[in-house]
Amino acid sequence: MSTQPAASNQLLDYVTSCALPTPWAQFTLHAFVEHGTGKEHLAMVLGEIGDGEPVLARVHSECLTGDVLFSQRCDCGAQLEGALQRIAEEGRGVLLYLRQEGRGIGLLNKIRAYRLQEAGADTVEANLQLGFHADARNYELCKPMLAQFGVRSLRLMTNNPRKIDALTRLGIEVAERVPLLVNRNAFNNSYLDTKQAKLGHMMTPAAEASAGPGLP
């Protein structure tokens, strides 16, 4: 697996790597810096992933409130932990951690959006009221980050068809979608239902989830 700076990459530079022990496995943490913005992005790698076979992967956008502060308003922190656990169980995989907080609108604007949600807006409406797209994330950095490790094909852990489409347009093969349905709770039911209804995420609405298997 290469740990040398990628050649002729116009989007970001590879910086360095280190060992990162976690509750699930010891990963290798790789650091990148994005040109223009100076944002730092990360890749957590386990095992040999540059052998040409599809790689179990998660493309995870930063969510400080969920990933670090344990917020139950979203499923982000649980998705991060679930993805790392699945990679550890398989003994091979990669997680890209992209610094695009709040679906790309930034931390402070995400908190402003939370305030609008408390006044009755859903997550899509709140972003639009602030003058942003419903989802302003960009995945173009994924291609050079994955190329650093010789990865061309993914078994992608996601519920988001737009993410699959974005990666596919970049020339990254998504050989399989692996569902990542975690942590539906009383605080994020509306959030998850909005992702399903307005953003097309592949998940079960709360009413159906609460009905249980085999029920309407």
Q: Which residue numbers are catalytic?
A: 135, 137
Burial track 1-24 (b if 16+ CB lie within 10 A, e otherwise): eeeeebeebeebebeeeeeeeeee
142 annotated binding-site participant: no
Q: Are 93 and 118 in contact (CB under 8 A)?
A: no
Radius of gyration of the chain (CA): 18
- Tell me if 74 is assigned to a ligand binding site: yes
94 is in an annotated binding site: no
102 is in an annotated binding site: yes
The response to whether 61 counts as a known ligand-binding position is yes
101 is an annotated ligand-binding site residue: yes
- CA distances (Å), origin 124, targets 47, 75, 76, 81: 38, 16, 16, 25
Handedness of CA 37, 143, 76, 198 (dihedral sign): positive
> Is 62 one of the annotated binding-site residues?
yes
Angle at Cα 119 formed by Cα 71 and Cα 115, nearest 5°? 45
39 labeled binding residue: no
Residue 133 known to bind ligand = no
Burial class (CB in 10 A: 0-12, 13-18, 19+), 214: exposed
Q: Which residues pair with 14 in a beta bridge?
A: 32
Binding residues for Zn(2+): 63, 74, 76
Binding residues: 58-63, 74, 76, 79, 101-103, 123, 158, 163
Binding residues for GTP: 58-62, 79, 101-103, 123, 158, 163
